[in-house]
């Protein structure tokens, strides 16, 4: 085992390449290893095996979203909880059976430390041609011995508008040159709205065609921020196949299904017990409570608007019962 920059809190501990050409990674008391088909995670009280395609797709979201809101479950056993400054890496913490058997384990890390290790692992374990953000139909496979890399794909910049897409100086609208229309959205109209601003307001008034913008998304299950009003973030995304993580909410999320269909499996956040199945079709609106975890299935590429409240006070207000886990009472 080689340890790089031991006195640096973000130091990545990586081994020399193993038999299959991949580095092992050590993060605190967790150890990560991959071979041709699997990722192996070990901790002091247990070990767990995940298919490498599932593992890399989940890892890609955790890295790109900087640990997102609340819990990112890679599957029913391992994942992360964001404390916004530090991150828990856990095994079995939200799995009743692991907890009862006392095989669950959690370790907290400063965000930069876990972030750098995850980034290094994602880059080392992703081979040429595999894009963890792409739908399975639009990427090569991740299996086999180490063969090249795909750094450009795994370090994609996430769209985060300061005000709104299309505002001068902010995120730009997408064009044929940068983002060709996806094969499943060939019928989406590409016209842009006409803006007639009063003199003097030309740089303050903007509009864009959100459907056209989303039809050109080259990634799946990746909410990007297209408009911001204080803590209110519009985070639309295009979905295809299965959400590669099970997201555990620490606040309410609103979903607006903009096209096609997503089937959601909604479970209790802490135990994983099934709570409901929700099928959302174009035009449907749902509020996902603050105490659930959910995973979506999208049979065809679909457009979903995720409306997030980014207030840093929400998790504590909900945890202490001062705010409800649901958004509205009828």
Tell me which stretch binds Fe ion (CB under 5 A): 52-60, 71-79, 169-177, 244-252: 244-252
The vertex-14 CA angle with 11 and 19, nearest 5°, equals 175
Q: Is residue 147 packed enough to be buried (19+ CB in 10 Å), middle (13-18) or exposed (0-12)?
A: exposed
What is the distance between the alpha carbons of residues 328 and 290, in angstroms, rounded to a whole number? 12
Q: Cβ(246)–Cβ(292) under 8 Å?
A: no
Query: In the complex with Fe ion, which residue's Cβ is closer, 104 or 253?
Result: 253
- Map residues 194-233 to x or -, x wherever contact with Fe ion holds by CB under 5 A: ----------------------------------------
Name the minimum Å distance from CB 70 to Fe ion. 7
- The residues, any chain, with a CB within 8 Å of residue 99's CB and separated by 6 or more, are 92, 93
Query: In the complex with Fe ion, which residue's Cβ is closer, 134 or 292?
Result: 292
Measured on CA atoms in the order 214, 218, 219, 225, is the torsion positive or negative?
negative
Phi, psi (rounded to 5 degrees) for 122: -60, -45
Q: Which of 316, 281, 263 is nearest to 83 (CA)?
A: 316
Tell me which stretch binds Fe ion (CB under 5 A): 210-218, 231-239, 247-255, 272-280: 247-255
- Segment 252 to 311, residues that bind Fe ion, using CB under 5 A: 253
Query: In the complex with Fe ion, which residue's Cβ is closer, 38 or 307?
Result: 307
Decide if residue 247 touches Fe ion (CB under 5 A).
Answer: yes
Count of residues making up the chain: 330
Query: In the complex with Fe ion, which residue's Cβ is closer, 24 or 253?
Result: 253
Binding test (CB under 5 A) with Fe ion, winner from 71, 126, 249, 302:
249
Tell me which stretch binds Fe ion (CB under 5 A): 152-160, 196-204, 226-234, 241-249: 241-249
Name the minimum Å distance from CB 288 to Fe ion. 6
Decide if residue 174 touches Fe ion (CB under 5 A).
Answer: no
DSSP 180: P
Query: In the complex with Fe ion, which residue's Cβ is closer, 22 or 68?
Result: 68
DSSP 308: E
Other beta carbons within 10 angstroms of residue 288's beta carbon come to 22
Name the minimum Å distance from CB 71 to Fe ion. 9
Query: In the complex with Fe ion, which residue's Cβ is closer, 40 or 65?
Result: 65
Name the minimum Å distance from CB 79 to Fe ion. 13
Query: In the complex with Fe ion, which residue's Cβ is closer, 27 or 245?
Result: 245
Q: Cβ(126)–Cβ(56) under 8 Å?
A: yes
Q: Which residues bind Fe ion (CB under 5 A)?
A: 247, 249, 253
């Amino acid at each position: 085992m080689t340890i790089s920059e031991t006195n640096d809190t973000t130091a990545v501990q990586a081994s020399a390449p193993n038999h299959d050409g991949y580095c092992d990674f050590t993060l605190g008391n967790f150890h990560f290893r991959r071979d041709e088909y699997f990722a192996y995670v070990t901790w002091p009280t247990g070990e767990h095996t995940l298919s490498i395609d599932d593992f890399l797709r989940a890892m890609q979201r955790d890295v790109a979203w900087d640990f997102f809101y609340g819990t990112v479950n890679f599957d029913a056993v391992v994942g992360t909880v964001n404390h916004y400054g530090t991150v828990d890496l856990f095994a079995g913490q939200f799995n009743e059976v692991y907890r009862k058997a006392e095989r669950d384990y959690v370790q907290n890390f400063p965000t930069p430390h876990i972030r750098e290790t995850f980034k290094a692992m994602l880059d080392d374990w992703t081979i040429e041609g595999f894009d963890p953000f792409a739908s399975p139909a639009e990427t090569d496979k991740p299996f086999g011995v180490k063969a090249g890399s795909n750094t450009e794909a795994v370090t994609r910049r996430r769209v985060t508008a300061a005000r709104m897409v299309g505002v001068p100086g902010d995120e730009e609208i997408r064009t044929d040159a940068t983002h060709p229309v996806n094969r499943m959205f060939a019928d989406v109209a590409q016209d842009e709205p006409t803006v007639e601003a009063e003199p003097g307001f030309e740089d303050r008034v903007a509009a864009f065609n959100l459907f056209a913008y989303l039809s050109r998304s080259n990634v799946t299950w990746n909410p990007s921020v297209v408009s911001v009003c204080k803590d209110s973030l519009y985070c639309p995304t295009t979905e295809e196949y299965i959400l590669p993580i099970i997201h555990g909410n620490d606040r309410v999320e609103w979903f607006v299904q903009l096209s096609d269909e997503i089937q959601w499996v909604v479970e209790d956040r802490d135990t994983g017990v099934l709570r409901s199945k929700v099928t959302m079709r174009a035009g449907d609106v749902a509020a996902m409570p603050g105490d659930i975890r959910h995973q979506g299935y999208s049979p065809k590429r679909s457009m979903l608007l995720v409306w997030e409240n980014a207030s840093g006070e929400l998790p504590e207000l909900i945890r202490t019962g001062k705010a409800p886990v649901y958004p509205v009472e009828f």
